[in-house]
Amino acid sequence: MIELREYVTESNAIENVHEESAIEETMAAWDYLKPKCELTHEIVKSVHGRILRNRQPEIAGEYRSIQVYVGTSVPPPPVVVESEMEKLLSWVPTDPLGALDWHVAFEQIHPFADGNGRVGRLIYLWHCQQLDAEPILWRADDREGYYALFDSTVDLDERTDCSDCSNIQSVAREQ
């Protein structure tokens, strides 16, 4: 298994976050997440809150209420973030490729106003731990390679059993 501090340091560096306090907060978020048996909205929000509580307390631990833009990508509108996360949280990856796809889907939803990459990479690490799989150690020196992952799309409707997907999609179209 990779060394946790190196993983966290590189993960933060991808976002140009280098302060020791930020590394410590991410390590504390990992200590919270690591023993969990499943992911819930509360757990994901708590991980986010632990990572951003001192850097951006006004948004820490809350799904976004604003539209965000990630490069040329436009994540779903804030009104459907919770329902999109509900679909994502109902999907449990069963292999390392699934864990990677889950990470891509999380980043494409972009549920938070900031901190998505750091939270998403920590959850990816958690999935790999659950699967007893070696995670990818993404390095800041290869940001472009990491960001290229998000050129692919993951269809959550194919990965989950969502009985209310038609309603979710119609709400998204109205936005």
pLDDT of residue 167: 37
* 151 and 71 Cβ atoms separated by less than 8 Å: no
The Cα–Cα gap between 9 and 19 comes to: 9
DSSP letters, 29-59, are: HHHHHTT-SS--HHHHHHHHHHHHTTT-TTT
Reported confidence tier of residue 155, pLDDT bands at 50, 70, 90: confident
pLDDT of residue 72: 85
pLDDT of residue 61: 98
64-123 pLDDT, tens digit each: 999 999 888 899 999 999 999 999 999 999 999 999 999 999 999 999 999 999 999 999
Q: Would the pLDDT of 7 be above 60?
A: yes
pLDDT of residue 69: 93
pTM: 0.89
Reported confidence tier of residue 160, pLDDT bands at 50, 70, 90: low
H helix and E strand count, the chain = 9, 0
Query: Domain limits of the chain?
Result: 4-170
- The mean pLDDT of 127-154, rounded to a whole number, is 93
The Cα–Cα gap between 161 and 35 comes to: 26
The Cα–Cα gap between 156 and 92 comes to: 11
31-57 pLDDT, tens digit each: 999 999 999 999 999 999 999 999 999
Per cent of the chain over pLDDT 90 is 81
Give the number of residues written for the chain: 175
Reported confidence tier of residue 161, pLDDT bands at 50, 70, 90: low
pLDDT of residue 71: 82
User: Would you say domain 4-170 falls under CATH 1.10.3290.10?
Assistant: yes
